[in-house]
Homo-oligomer: A and B are copies of this chain.
Amino acid sequence: MAGLSMLWSARSIAVVGASGREGSLGRLPVEYLKRYGYSGRILPINPTATEICGLPAYPSLAAAGPVDLALIMVGADKAVAAVAECAAHGVPVAIVGASGFAEAGAPELQEQLLAARGGTRLLGPNCIGAANLTSGLVASFSPWFAGAATTLRADLFPKPAVPGPATVQGWHTGTRTPAGVALVSQSGALGFGAASLAVDRGLPLGWVVTTGNEADVTALEVLTELAAEPGCVGLLGYVESLRDGPALRRLAARGKPVALLVAGSSAAGRRAAASHTGALAGDDRVVDAALRQLGITRVADVDDLLDAGEAFAAAVRKSSPRPGRPRVADYAEPRPAGPAGAEGRAEPRRVGPARVVVVTTSGGSGILAADAVEAAGLVLAELAPGTRDTLGEIVPVFGSTENPIDVTATVMRDRTLVERCLRAVDGDPGVDAIVLCFCVLTGDDVTGIVAALGQVTKPVVVARTGAEHLAPAATTMLRGLGVASFPTPARAVRALAGALRTPANPGTGADTPATPGAGHPGAGAEAAGPANDVTPGAGGVEPVTDEWRLKEALRAAGVPVPRGHFLDSPADFDFERAVLKAVAPGLVHKTEAGGVILNVTKDTVAEAYRKIADIGRVWAEEQVDGGVEVLVGIAPSPLGRVLTIGAGGTLAELLDDVAIRLLPADPAAMLEELKIKKLFDGYRGKPALDTAALLRAVEALVGLTAGWPADVAVELNPVLIREHGVVVLDAAAVREV
């Protein structure tokens, strides 16, 4: 896998199919490498030319000498041979830009390409290559690089122009590598389009890689590899098919902040993605749940992706090792209180959403920021009395010392007031992060603000709703301090939320399978813990699919089911009140076939028996009523096995009230998400229900199915949860195709 880093650190690049002809695609990479000052060897490969763009050209890779990276600029028909040549020459990584493979209905050509690669890793086909923007390694033919005004903005990567206080580190993370974010995109055009927007807005973007058809190398793999670069402070991705759960966990396990724009959030988009990539997209709710669970920020638009990048870059630049400073990773997803986790830190991790204070010079911006805080799943901090007292001395009477704190524009006149305000909220232990809002920030204000922000130790973002030209130096000066600024309060808050949500337990064995059903994991285990992980198919256990057999298996595993047995005649009936169900090969929809009769007693069993026996064998089980109907399911998904808990029975379809997680998961946290949780807690004076029994049943089901083949879906619906205990009324298992 180490070879992939050649995409951004190759010391020699061969351009296979290079051309000297003006306007030809094969000329572009050679021009770009020269124009942007790539310091390695540029090796144009052309069977006939001896010189291209002033560089010596070679007839073959063999003639060119050692090659770290090959950019193959020939058409689809000649690409297989070119890849084979790379493999023969021992090139670590080759990029195939041509289209005309799987995306064009020619999967067999793509298979040939893959077969030819040998030990060479293959980026593409149907991609636009990769670039390291800090070194000028532009292994791409994107028209972005041809723009007369295009620069890679090396100026974004030096030390800060504005010397900040000693505790602020600035642009470097302590290594020689510039600190920046990486962008990896399955779509080539969109990737370089987004990169051009990123550089224009001044985002320190270090790496761009596009993966196209992903015949071999995937976006997740590249992101994971980039996360290992010491200078990479955050990862941005555009993906169309998110289908590899273990790869996603590996990425999260790097512990660096990640934001993903996953296309196909709508049914229409999924259809388009399927026709585009030929791959069926997974259920978007599973994608959503998995990303949240792993601490990966999901964004809805290219703008949001780049905003997240700004916050990632700023958060790290700001990460000075001042003692007592909360780590951003401390504020992952809201989760119920639990043990401190495996980090062995002295203080227990504070749980729940991050507590944000909004400080604003404009009441309107403050309200919009407060709205955005709630929408982003964060909460407004409650200020300590001492903080309020301090603010009371500073904020004018027509402002507000309640959060959002409206300091009004008048405090800008005295920079010590801004400083004192920020120091007060920064020192309040109930505050995790700060949003500072301005409208129409002018040049005169900037020095004071920079001085004040330089003292802040907590994560802070700025919203400046006004034209940049009114304070042209502000953004750069704030960047120098490690503070990201955004044009609107909502964008600032969303970006902050993304920066606070990072993979919760970096370095722990996020993808290490462990003993199934090993009891109830602590809260910290939810993001990456192994407690109830499953290894699909590992045991090769044959799953049971008949309802009655499944129930027997559930009973044996410790999941309560009603007492039941087959009746050979009505005389075998030994229940007070029972349900009779027909059992016959291939009979799935029993109810629709008239194969289920409720409320059968000794008086009515003869007739009921006759009816059911017409359809199949007669299974009888004790009828259980009362309680609340829940569904519990385990199903395969492209990202791995998914646990679902939600409203069951007739409410299932109406309420659509489910919590979804990749396994391993914390079922107790899942219950907290459900609307029907109200019923569990004792609704309208009714007694509370036995959620502990429900959780035991869930764990037992996870354990029971752990060794089953990966394609089996099992659903218990309804499970009745009652004041004491639970009971599974219906259960089904199917192999999903």
A residues sitting closer than 8 Å to B (CB atoms) are 99-100, 103-105, 126, 142-144, 146-147, 149-150, 185-194, 196-197, 199-200, 238, 240, 261, 263-269, 271-273, 275-276, 300-303, 361-368, 370-375, 379-380, 396-398, 400, 402, 404, 406, 408-409, 438-440, 442, 465-470, 487-491, 650, 653-657, 675-676, 678-679, 683-684
Contacts and interface: CB of A to CB of B under 8 A. Distances in A.
Contacts of A468: 200
Contacts of A372: 301
Contact of A276 (B142, B303, B367): B367
Contacts of A263: 364, 367-368, 371
B364 A684 contact: no
Given A189-B439, A409-B189, A465-B197, A99 B487 contact: no
A474 to B, nearest CB: 13
Given A375-B266, A397-B104, A275 B364 contact: no
6 contacts: A189-B365, A196-B466, A196-B470, A300-B490, A650-B684, A656-B675
A264 B373 CA distance: 11
Contacts of A491: 301, 303
Contact of A192 (B191, B361, B439): B439
A488 B305 CA distance: 11
Contacts of A375: 265-266, 300
Given A375-B266, A675-B654, A679-B654, A275 B466 contact: no
B465 A364 contact: no
Contact of A275 (B186, B266, B400): B400
Given A185-B364, A265-B375, A272-B404, 5 more contacts: A104-B397, A200-B467, A263-B368, A303-B490, A650-B684
A103 B406 CA distance: 11
A188 B439 CA distance: 9
Closest 4 CB pairs of A and B: A187-B364, A104-B398, A266-B374, A193-B439
Contacts of A276: 363, 366-367, 400, 406
Contacts of A361: 189
Given A187-B365, A269-B367, A470 B301 contact: no
Nearest to A264: B367
Q: How many copies make up the complex?
A: 2
Given A367-B263, A440-B142, A470 B105 contact: no
A657 B651 CA distance: 13
Contact of A362 (B189, B397, B487): B189
A627 to B, nearest CB: 14
Contacts of A143: 440, 442, 470
Nearest to A300: B490
Contacts of A273: 367
Contacts of A373: 266, 268
Contacts of A265: 371, 374-375
A443 to B, nearest CB: 8
B193 A466 contact: yes
A115 B185 CA distance: 63
B187 A267 contact: no
A402 B264 contact: no
Contacts of A374: 265-269
A467 B264 contact: no
Nearest to A284: B371
Contacts of A657: 654
Contacts of A103: 363, 398
A12 to B, nearest CB: 28
Contacts of A186: 364
B192 A380 contact: no
Contact of A238 (B200, B364, B406, B467): B364
B368 A269 contact: yes
B144 A470 contact: yes
Nearest to A405: B272
A261 B489 CA distance: 13
Nearest to A373: B268
Nearest to A364: B187
A190 B269 contact: no
A138 to B, nearest CB: 14
A489 B269 CA distance: 12
B371 A150 contact: no
A272 B373 CA distance: 12
Given A268-B373, A365-B187, A442-B143, A150 B302 contact: no
Contacts of A188: 362
A355 to B, nearest CB: 12
A491 B105 CA distance: 32
B303 A488 contact: yes
Contacts of A655: 654-655, 675
A524 to B, nearest CB: 28
A315 B706 CA distance: 58
Contacts of A366: 272, 276
Given A185-B364, A301-B491, A380 B196 contact: no
Contacts of A199: 467
Contact of A467 (B144, B266, B272, B654): B144
Contacts of A465: 190, 193-194, 197, 302
Given A268-B371, A371-B266, A466-B196, A363 B398 contact: no
A147 B489 CA distance: 22
A190 B150 contact: no
A275 B402 CA distance: 9
Nearest to A655: B655
Contact of A190 (B144, B264, B364, B371): B364
A409 to B, nearest CB: 6
Which of A200, A266, A271 has the most C-beta atoms of chain B within 10 angstroms of its own C-beta?
Answer: A266
A440 B368 contact: no
A434 to B, nearest CB: 16
Contacts of A442: 143, 146-147
A263 B489 CA distance: 12
Given A465-B302, A470-B147, A189 B268 contact: no
A148 to B, nearest CB: 8
A74 to B, nearest CB: 16
A208 B442 CA distance: 20
Nearest to A674: B654
